[in-house]
Amino acid sequence: MTDVRLIESGKYNIALAEALKKLPEFEKPSWIDFVKTGPNKVRPNIDTNFWYRRGASILRQIYVKGTVGVQRLRTRYGGRKDLGSQPPRFVRAGGKIIRTLLQQAEKAGLVETVKGLKPGRKLTEKGIKFLESIK
């Protein structure tokens, strides 16, 4: 069992995405090929593995940050929106993709909902073991 933070994030996320493909709870919805990931994007994502790569990235963010909510993840995956002649500004990513991935991770038993002073989602023991088993 190794600490996920010590592994390079790009390589780790690809390996974790391959492991998520094998879980029956993580299935790509039919609508994902037609939606943009946020208002700052011009077109929908054309990567066929986008769903699993984003899921892997979200699970790694939860591992690194602890308890994370949808709004914080929307800010993490947001970007600059080109407003034409106006100066660009930062906009948050869409929440539907993030929310659906977190719900699938809950069904798989990898994350759990936390209520209290810092509400959001955090990894379960099963989730921590699953993430640390990926190399």
pLDDT tens-digit map of 29-57: 999 999 998 999 999 999 999 999 999 99
The answer on pLDDT for 1 being more than 70 is: no
Please count the structural domains in the chain.
1
Whole-angstrom Cα distance, residue 88 to residue 106?
Answer: 36
Give residue-wise pLDDT tens across range 63-120: 999 999 999 999 999 999 999 999 999 999 999 999 999 999 999 999 999 998 889 9
What pTM does this model have? 0.92
Residue 133: per-residue pLDDT: 93
The range of the structural domain enclosing residue 73 comes to 4-133
Report the b/e string of 27-46 with b at 16+ CB within 10 A: eeeeebeeeebbebeeeebe
Q: What CATH number does residue 40 fall under?
A: 1.10.10.10
- Residue 26: CA atoms inside 13 Å, Cβ hemisphere, count? 26
Residue 4: per-residue pLDDT: 87
| For range 4-20, the mean pLDDT | 93
The answer on pLDDT for 2 being more than 80 is: no
Residue 11: per-residue pLDDT: 93
